[in-house]
Amino acid sequence: MAKPNVISKNELIEYAKECLVEKGIEKFTLKAVAEAGGVTQGTIYYHFRTKEQLLLEIVRDICDRSWSELSHHNENIIKQAFESAKSRCSSDSFFHKLFLTLVVSGFHNEKIKEQLGDILEKENEALSKHLTKIWSPTPIKGVSFETWGILLNAIVDGLAIQALLSKDFSVEKVYRELEQVLIGLSNPSKRECGK
């Protein structure tokens, strides 16, 4: 097996992201990543055994960076999280196309399924942790912070599916109204009744 050149795994992930943006997931290859990084395919295989492993690392990297950036915001963390999610929620977003492609692959590949499950669990935990900072106690008796984190994560992924499949889907409107739902849950006195 070839030894890695003087390029790090993280640098290769950045080149891979560029390739995804330029070529789209349908034309994404390890060869294209090697060319973008100016390295051999052996170098790519040294760091990533398969294309799927590289794609999983891209998803993990994006999620980790997103939560790392959000952890620096003490105020309005949920608003910041939604802004981040909304920025990746468009008909041309490579992130959710990549994520959902990997989800489908996970139906037939236990390793991918397990790694995606780990990423989702980490995101659910991060959401739950941040919700405890804005809600005390949980806004609906009997619904744990753990469940709220899972529900919000599922809503964000579901909205991404809607945005990818429906050309008329209004990301701005839906996220604005979702924020109103959270405000209503956070502060019942700010709830507006029927419009």
Residue 195 included in any domain: no
Asked if 21 and 88 sit in the same domain, the reply is no
Asked if 28 and 1 sit in the same domain, the reply is yes
Asked if 101 and 5 sit in the same domain, the reply is no
pTM of the model: 0.77
Question: Omega into 137 within 30° of 0, i.e. cis?
Answer: yes
Q: Exposed/middle/buried for 89, CB within 10 Å: 0-12, 13-18, 19+?
A: buried
- Decide which of 186 and 112 is more confident: 112
pLDDT tens track for 122-165 = 989 988 888 888 888 899 999 999 999 999 999 988 998 898 88
Say yes or no to pLDDT of 1 above 50: no
Residue 57 included in any domain: yes
| Alpha carbon distance 114, 117 (integer Å) | 5
Residue 69 included in any domain: yes
Asked if 9 and 65 sit in the same domain, the reply is no
Residues 46/7, Cβ–Cβ less than 8 Å: no
Q: Domain span at residue 28? A: 1-49
Give the number of other Cβ atoms within 10 Å of residue 101's Cβ: 16
Say yes or no to pLDDT of 12 above 90: yes
Question: Which CATH number fits the domain that encloses residue 5?
Answer: 1.10.10.60
Question: Which CATH number fits the domain that encloses residue 170?
Answer: 1.10.357.10
Interval 40-68 mean pLDDT: 87
Number of compact structural domains in the chain: 2
Dihedral sign, Cα of residue 139, residue 141, residue 142, residue 144 = positive
